[in-house]
Structure 1
């Protein structure tokens, strides 16, 4: 993107996913390092000399797909359609599989800024939907921001953090930039071209050619930019008609359910993963903006995403875990919150208790010393005769898009008897006593015994001890010991203790 160094998705396609060089951001890196892709844009004039797909068919389908952004039929767009079908079917398939991972975010953010929803296909051309990819010119992330342009649009970058790799913030920045470009040219094809090569180059091409549209300045544009808009058109087509050409998403990818931790101060992420049972590579996927294996002393209010399946274990063992990966001489407060939380209100006013629960929509009462925390609960709904996704979404007060995402539904049809997953937010009240009990183990046992409320799980058909332990973030041996189970056999209807 931005001054002509984007187009990484197509570079990756042309390179047939060539081995990608790792960029070192320091001594250590977290997860997958930034990846460099060679600029191997093919010669589009030599593709599709004898087209296999009828021109009439493509013209009809382009017209059917066209919404706010023109999908102009041109020889080069026809060539790229055939390229993605016959030469790079594996790349096309990969893009189909990654759509569920990023498109809900793209659609939500584009709608927020009043931009055409079909702009979501642009990131496929820019980065191949790889949030860690980086070009030789140092453009990085899903939307391929150059370092200076990224900073201009509020994407923070230092030796430890690069927000160009953070999907939510990078998408926000891309929407602001695309809106700015459209306001300059008043034409979406020119705005897309300027996203690739920069508005200055587009204006110079307009002066040289005396043209006012992308196709009238086509021959005055850099070669890469001439191919950019046709690639976008072709990718839009492939994501909607790829199945008609025998290309299917066999292994769609979805967001890992996650909660968030607010980190202040130094944290060793390798030790954190080791002691919390979190897979280090999984932490890297959830936090692509982190470029090293630790966060520095000066870290303030960094939102670290962790797998939800580890949440209970993390809370139950927080003191031990944090002692293992933070520096005791530094007031490094870690705040637990649900996913999408973007604010930290520290409750750790007493230095002896640096850890506290918070939530995005928390209610804190100083006198009662309680916090109301929003948690996401999973339930199910069995489809009845006559019900639709629309009626079910209204019944539970959720979005149709979320309902489809939770249940991996591509289309809008559902069947009677089908069980659907419903995710709902519920409020939990945490008292000061329970917060302090988690923050620090008392030095002495209280004189009076306290009644402990037990939590149970009722075994469902298909449940195993392992799946139950993963669901609640409990070590398998602890689960078996608490329930006095010697083997691995459990039965539907059986009640298991999951906490005490």
Structure 2
């Protein structure tokens, strides 16, 4: 019997993995984004809650290294927004940064790029490797499907490597480096990453300028605020403590080993027999989007928690036999260094918990596009901060910050400030559910060139199996122009 050797990591971050939108520039010739950022950002705060302009200017000047961190009033507004209205976002980034920043820093150093680019992922995805924007951009670095394929990220009904932190970070470094070479300026490169190089060049022609602030007024509104957001997040990740924002429960990477699988694998069976929870498997293999791998799989690398590796090694023959549906066909599982053995890998039926933009991890740009109402709530008997926050759809941490509360206890009759965000340009009144028949609005998608069931399912945040079921599809192919029900 061949011996299975332990392979740590993939030569990156010593085998540590992650537990953990803007539309992104990967839609290269899109004129404007679907959700456009308001030109004026209204940040309503208490009278004594403002950040000194001189202080922000001074600190940005100290932080500035390779990428310019210029002060701008829009940058200041974003700083105040995240301090006073969305401190929970900064807190969450502080808690999750240990999962990805070591990888980012290693990749950026490998490519000879500024380390501060690691903060770009915060405004792209909120450090959620499985988030998908409404436009279909996915992953930590929000690649559109076509650009993901252009940069070597495999996408099919089983795997979407835009969600792989290692491969997507490598691709983001290559793409950003290419943009910097094209424009010779990091601010321009960031703008091009957001809206596409074609739109940046168009703004240059119309403005006659070759600098970001020179073309500022000729860019889509979303992109005008993209660079200021980056500067604001860079500021906050360095000076969060001075504004009373701290990580409470930081996450740290999981140590993993790698294996290679070939042939068909039932991922449910593999995970169960390997004593790996499905949730755990998907967290370290976010690129796996199905419950199985097909018979055409060839030496595909998967990650296995190190604490399960010995059990897996001892039981690999039984695990592999049970996880393979076609026993007549010989299949081999290889370790990452090419030694033969037997095994598979695990997944979950709901496509691994993909998150559509708009969920709790939505990116800052989406948040900023909303209007905010200042409301008041008088605490009633039996209410808790958690219940009140849930009622208004806000974070408990934010509710406490808005009202200068240190603990979790509140007294009956206390008047609380609540900043309630509502979708922009929604003028229709809210229709309450009554005893009459409820109308259900069906959403459709017209299949475009390059679409697959996988990319369509990801875009609308639904399971591939459900997509096939509601459209009565037997196979995995779709035709250009085909009309599919997606919700």
TM-score range, shorter chain: 0.5 to 0.7
1:223 aligns with 2:230: no
Deviation digits for residues 431-481 of structure 1 (CA, Å, limit 9, x no counterpart): xxxxxxxxxxxxxxxxxxxxxxxxxxxxxxxxxxxxxxxxxxxxxxxxxxx
SS of residue paired to 1:46: coil
Matched with 2:43 is: 47
Matched with 1:67 is: 65
SS of residue paired to 2:166: helix
Q: Distance in 2 between matches of 1:209 and 1:40?
A: 21
CA contact (8 A) 2:38 2:221 kept: no
TM-superposed CA distance for 1:42, in Å, is: 5.2
1:331 aligns with 2:330: yes
Q: Distance in 2 between matches of 1:196 and 1:115?
A: 18
CA contact (8 A) 2:261 2:343 kept: no
Alignment of 1:183-222 (within 5 A): 183-222=181-220
Give the direction of change, closer, same or farther, for the CA distance of 1:195–1:355 in structure 2 (3 Å limit). Answer: closer
Alignment of 1:284-323 (within 5 A): 284-323=282-321
TM-superposed CA distance for 1:156, in Å, is: 1.1
Give the direction of change, closer, same or farther, for the CA distance of 1:305–1:355 in structure 2 (3 Å limit). Answer: closer
1:168 aligns with 2:166: yes
Matched with 1:345 is: 338
Q: Distance in 2 between matches of 1:275 and 1:100?
A: 30
CA contact (8 A) 1:301 1:344 kept: no
Structure possessing the higher radius of gyration over alpha carbons: 1
Deviation digits for residues 24-50 of structure 1 (CA, Å, limit 9, x no counterpart): xxxxxxxxxxxxxx9474554423698
Q: Distance in 1 between matches of 2:163 and 2:108?
A: 18
Give the direction of change, closer, same or farther, for the CA distance of 1:3–1:310 in structure 2 (3 Å limit). Answer: closer
Which of 170, 179, 182 aligns to 2:180? It is 182
Matched with 2:20 is: none
Deviation digits for residues 231-277 of structure 1 (CA, Å, limit 9, x no counterpart): 00000011111111111111111111111121011111111111111
Highest RCO, 1 vs 2 (Cα 8 Å, sep ≥ 6): 2
SS of residue paired to 1:71: coil
Give the TM-score normalised by structure 2.
0.62
Matched with 2:277 is: 279
TM-superposed CA distance for 1:316, in Å, is: 1.0
Deviation digits for residues 408-433 of structure 1 (CA, Å, limit 9, x no counterpart): xxxxxxxxxxxxxxxxxxxxxxxxxx
Q: Distance in 1 between matches of 2:53 and 2:343?
A: 64
CA contact (8 A) 1:48 1:79 kept: no
Alignment of 1:239-278 (within 5 A): 239-278=237-276
Give the direction of change, closer, same or farther, for the CA distance of 1:262–1:70 in structure 2 (3 Å limit). Answer: same
1:2 aligns with 2:25: yes
SS of residue paired to 2:214: coil
Deviation digits for residues 83-108 of structure 1 (CA, Å, limit 9, x no counterpart): 11111111111111111000000000
TM-superposed CA distance for 1:199, in Å, is: 0.8
Deviation digits for residues 161-200 of structure 1 (CA, Å, limit 9, x no counterpart): 1110000010000000000000011110000000000111
Deviation digits for residues 195-234 of structure 1 (CA, Å, limit 9, x no counterpart): 0001111111111111221111111110000010000000
Unaligned residue ranges in structure 2 (runs of 5+): 1-23, 345-487
1:109 aligns with 2:107: yes
CA contact (8 A) 1:84 1:91 kept: yes
Which of 134, 137, 145 aligns to 1:136? It is 134
Deviation digits for residues 338-370 of structure 1 (CA, Å, limit 9, x no counterpart): xxxxx442446xxxxx679xxxxxxxxxxxxxx
Matched with 1:124 is: 122
Matched with 1:80 is: 78
Q: Distance in 2 between matches of 1:43 and 1:185?
A: 25
Deviation digits for residues 270-309 of structure 1 (CA, Å, limit 9, x no counterpart): 1111111111000000000001011111111111111111
- The total of aligned residue pairs comes to 315
Give the direction of change, closer, same or farther, for the CA distance of 1:138–1:72 in structure 2 (3 Å limit). Answer: same
Matched with 1:381 is: none
Matched with 2:236 is: 238
Q: Distance in 2 between matches of 1:3 and 1:44?
A: 26
Q: Distance in 1 between matches of 2:343 and 2:283?
A: 25
Q: Distance in 1 between matches of 2:289 and 2:156?
A: 9
